Structure 1
Amino acid sequence: MVFQGGNDFQVAMADYNMWNAALGKSANAKVKLYPELNHLLSPQTEKAYTQQYQVPVNVSEQLISDIALWIIGK
């Protein structure tokens, strides 16, 4: 499973697009973009800077659910 936060300023969309092109049609892989998540896979309203990592936040519940469903389906 490959996932990317759309508000990640450390990993470019070009990287996501590369993984999606390589694995996106594979039955054994899942590639998904989460537009509202940052590099730490937590909600972020915009691309920002590393100081945002000093604020305690949780990983996206949707991401956790998607990972669990993918594992269960394997």
Structure 2
Amino acid sequence: MPLFFLIPLATGIATGYISQKCRDETGYIISLFTILSLILSLILAPWQIQLFLLIAVLVSTNRFLKQKN
């Protein structure tokens, strides 16, 4: 399983931490880069990880919907 998706993931986590410390317009630009790198990481992730994330989202959404009713 290639681990190329970890590079944009680590970059996204690092820039997310930096954007939390910035309070001006630079923080907004860094936050945009964080979002883009995390999306790229999800695109590059192997299908096993994508499937696991999809199942986790579906299960958690189902639980939240049951709590509302």
- Structure number with the higher helix fraction is 2
TM-score normalized by structure 2?
Answer: 0.27
TM-score normalized by structure 1?
Answer: 0.26
- Structure number with the higher strand fraction is 1
